[in-house]
Structure formats: C-alpha cells, structure tokens
Structure 1
C-alpha cells in the first residue's frame, strides 16, 4: 500500500531527529540522556534512547509532557532547563523540543536529561581544591591593580561582543587610549599584564599605545 505524503513526511522528520539525537548522545556522553519520542504512538513512544540514565527502554510510553503535546498543538514547542528527577531520586535538568509536521501537529519530541549529581560532585571537588587555608598568611603574586586592568579590558571587549584575544587592531588601539587616559599605563608591569590578557606580544602593545 502506497504511503501518503504526510506519512512520508513523518518518517523523514523522525529519521532526522534520530540522527540529531545520536549525535547529541555521543557528544554529551555519559552525563546527558537523549531520548526521541514518537508522539504518534503514545503507548510506545520512546523510539530511541542514548546514554540511558532513566532506566527506560525503547517502546516505553510517552511522558506527561508528551501527552500534553499530543492533546494541545499550542503547547510550548521549546521547554529548556526545567528541573526534573530520575526514578532513583537523582536530580536532573531537562530540555524538551517538540517536533511538528507541516500541518502544525506534534509528531515527535527530542528530550535531553542531564544528570546533575555528577556535576555537583565535580563542583564540590573544585570548591575544596580552590579553598585556601593558612590563616594569617597574606601574599599576592599579582602586581598591584593588575586585576583592575584585566577587568577594564574585559568590559571593553564585552561592549564589542567579543573577547580580549579577538580584538582587532583598531579596537586594541582605542582600548590602549582608554587605559592610558584612566592612568592604567602608569601601573607597574602594565604592558606585560595587558599583553598577556590580550594574547599578544609586548611589542604589539607598545605599538598600539603610540
């Protein structure tokens, strides 16, 4: 029996979503579960699952969110970073993208579920590593006002929607004039600080300051 144009469209959409899910799953393994839901068959909606963190399987039914999309074509197509929870209690952060056909009907959903426990563990390790002890000992290896210079450079770069390392020559020259007028070039080792933060040589900084 010949398939209708709409059925062929649905198959094409699902095939593409499955490829996207596969790519996302490989990129964000192992901490992000990526699931493809076929909303045309809510009783057996899960079509593909990568980095299985929830314990579900292909052929499992649609979630409440999937059922809501099936029932309402005006349901939000994009839901990002909402709190969620796996079956064993682990906290998760989820994003769900609804996929519509040319008629505006939901036919699929692409969902990402990030395991926050792993990141919280990494965060705790980093916090412990970055905590300095040694009460009563005070020392700075950074020249005075160095951080103020870096912050001024960062602010200038952000005003141009770029990074310090990506500043063009004309922008670097304008920045140097701003730093000069603000008195930052009088700071000890200012040229070395600026060059390091911009990712250029000291000779370039001296030339830009002329």
Structure 2
C-alpha cells in the first residue's frame, strides 16, 4: 500500500475516532495509532483521559502487531490502567492493509473510576437503613382486591383489562359483596387494575 493510500485510511480512522469520542464522552478515550511509524505512532486522541500527546510511540500491543501479522485483530475489554493508576477497560482493534500487514490500530480506553464514582453514589442513594418501623403506602387490602380481579379474569382465560362488560359487572358486584368497595380507595384500586374509571366501577356495582 502506498503512503497516499495509508493517509486516506488514517483520515477515515480519525473520523471514526471523532465520532466514537463524541458518542462516549466523557468516559471513553479513543486513540488512532499509525503502526507504520511506531516511534511516533499516536496520530489522534479523542477525549484525552490518559494525558498522552500526539506523536508518542506505539504501546507493547502495537509493537506486537507490527511484528506478527497473525496477532489477533480485536482484543476486547482487557484490564489496563493510566499512568496515574486509574483503572481502565480497553479494546484494541488492529487494521491491516491489502497485503495483510498491520498498519493502524483503533483503541478505546474506558475510565472505570468514573463509573465507580457513579456506582458508589447510586449505592448510597438506594441504601435502606435497618429499622423496626414498617409502613405500607398502599391500602391494606389492595393486594387482595387485585388478586381477586386477576383470579376472576384467569378463570375466564383473559386479563383484568380485557374482561367483557358483563363479566366485569359480575366481578365488581362480587368485590362489593366482599366489602372491598367499602375500604378506603377500594373503588380506585379496582378501577386502576381493571383499566376503567371509578365511575364505571360504581355503575357496575349497582
């Protein structure tokens, strides 16, 4: 492959890196390596999380690809770290020319410390302290009302919201006889589970 063809390839890789960088910012660094110039391999860096500069030499992985055309083209999600010790998840994609030689690499480095901070914040936010106090925000018999409705619908091979009007009327009257419409929010709970208005429930109960 002639240098001009290499340049076209590198230009396209830089566009891909730019798109990936914008998509996964600010968590992922995307780097384009020119393996035809291993001493000055880094050609482009999007979301520079590692603090490296354009023109720095190829990494050990890049050198391995240069020396061995049979080296794996894709190495995904391997453990890595930045110079300051931050943990990284990396993926490296080798790019070959028409002759089958590696000439470039596209690498993605995800800073796991950023996600670690988010994970810690979420764990704190969702933590529940142990307590002897118990409380429910639902009516005491809400589950019984819903279960009664579901059992009635299942016996007719349907769902609560697909009951025929005549069947729904019979169900509501059964619920009324059981005293469920007399409890606080009973009609509201039944209506919500049936997918109808409270007025419909009251009419069916007549």
Aligned to 2:31: 35
SS, match of residue 93 in structure 2: strand
Aligned to 2:41: 45
Q: How far has the Cα of 1:144 moved from its partner?
A: 4.3
Q: Deviations over 1:10-48 (max 9, x none)?
A: 222111100000111122222211110000000000001
Aligned to 1:90: 86
* Matches of 1:12 and 1:89, distance apart in 2: 35
Q: Of 4, 10, 16, which residue of structure 2 is paired with 1:8? A: 4
Gap runs ≥5 in structure 1: 146-178, 196-201, 204-210
Asked if the contact 1:44–1:59 (Cα under 8 Å) also holds between the matched residues in 2, the reply is yes
* Matches of 2:191 and 2:2, distance apart in 1: 65
TM-score calculated relative to the size of structure 2: 0.67
Aligned to 1:118: 114
* Matches of 1:31 and 1:79, distance apart in 2: 19
Gap runs ≥5 in structure 2: 145-152, 161-185, 197-206
* Matches of 1:102 and 1:144, distance apart in 2: 67
* Matches of 2:30 and 2:126, distance apart in 1: 33
Q: How far has the Cα of 1:9 moved from its partner?
A: 2.5
* Matches of 2:115 and 2:28, distance apart in 1: 11
SS, match of residue 2 in structure 2: helix
Question: Alpha carbon RMSD of aligned pairs, Å?
Answer: 3.0
Q: Of 87, 95, 100, which residue of structure 2 is paired with 1:99? A: 95
Q: Specify the structure having the higher radius of gyration (Cα).
A: 2
Q: How far has the Cα of 1:103 moved from its partner?
A: 1.5
Q: How far has the Cα of 1:105 moved from its partner?
A: 1.0
Cα pair distance change 1:11/1:191, threshold 3 Å = farther
Asked if the contact 1:185–1:191 (Cα under 8 Å) also holds between the matched residues in 2, the reply is no
* Matches of 2:49 and 2:192, distance apart in 1: 49
